[in-house]
Chain A
Amino acid sequence: QKEVEQNSGPLSVPEGAIASLNCTYSDRGSQSFFWYRQYSGKSPELIMFIYSNGDKEDGRFTAQLNKASQYVSLLIRDSQPSDSATYLCAVNSLTTDSWGKLQFGAGTQVVVTP
């Protein structure tokens, strides 16, 4: 059973600080990694994707990937109250039995406090 693990939170972050979210995955065949943001009562929206080891920055978001450690993280700099949401980590594998389906973690709830 391929798994994607996240801390459920809530992760409480002061406004203006850096929020650090972690995700580990069990399938070494995983190739593509995604972060989704889900506001309460809404559907998930894709905010970041990363394929290669290292860092990828997009505005206030930075995704970090370490395939050797099977670890992907998301940093949110200068956190704003509008960043309060649940963040889902998703992993895509190339192994045939998974067909390329995304495996989702259960999500980490982030609460940015003014």
Chain B
Amino acid sequence: SQTIHQWPATLVQPVGSPLSLECTVEGTSNPNLYWYRQAAGRGLQLLFYSVGIGQISSEVPQNLSASRPQDRQFILSSKKLLLSDSGFYLCAWSTNYREDGYTFGSGTRLTVV
């Protein structure tokens, strides 16, 4: 069966510090991968998605970047965090079948102080 791992679960970082969040998927190959952010009490905002190694599409221009160095690994990064980067970050994966939904990781709660 497929599983998705996301870490760390919580993170408190000072403004201006770098960020690296990692997500890995097991039990499938060539998944579509996504990074979402959810601000407190708000909906899901798609940040990045990837259909293959090295293929990253950005939905919202911002202080973040994403990379996919391996087929089942997706990394979200920032060189300098802003207060506005605080939120709940979710990684998700899906198959290439549009009839399938997304499966989300457990999320990382980031607080920038």
Contact = CB atoms under 8 A, between A and B. Distances in A.
A92 B96 CA distance: 12
A102 B101 contact: yes
A51 B99 contact: yes
A110 B69 CA distance: 40
A106 B43 contact: yes
Residue among A31, A51, A90, A104 with the highest chain B CB neighbour number at 10 A? A104
Given A42-B107, A46-B101, A107 B43 contact: yes
B105 interface: yes
Given A34-B101, A100-B98, A101-B49, A43 B43 contact: no
Contacts, number: 45
How many residues of A sit at the interface, in one of the four size bands?
A: 20 to 34
B107 to A, nearest CB: 5
B98 A88 contact: no
B107 A43 contact: yes
B88 to A, nearest CB: 8
Interface of B: 42-44, 46, 49, 90, 94, 98-99, 101-107, 109
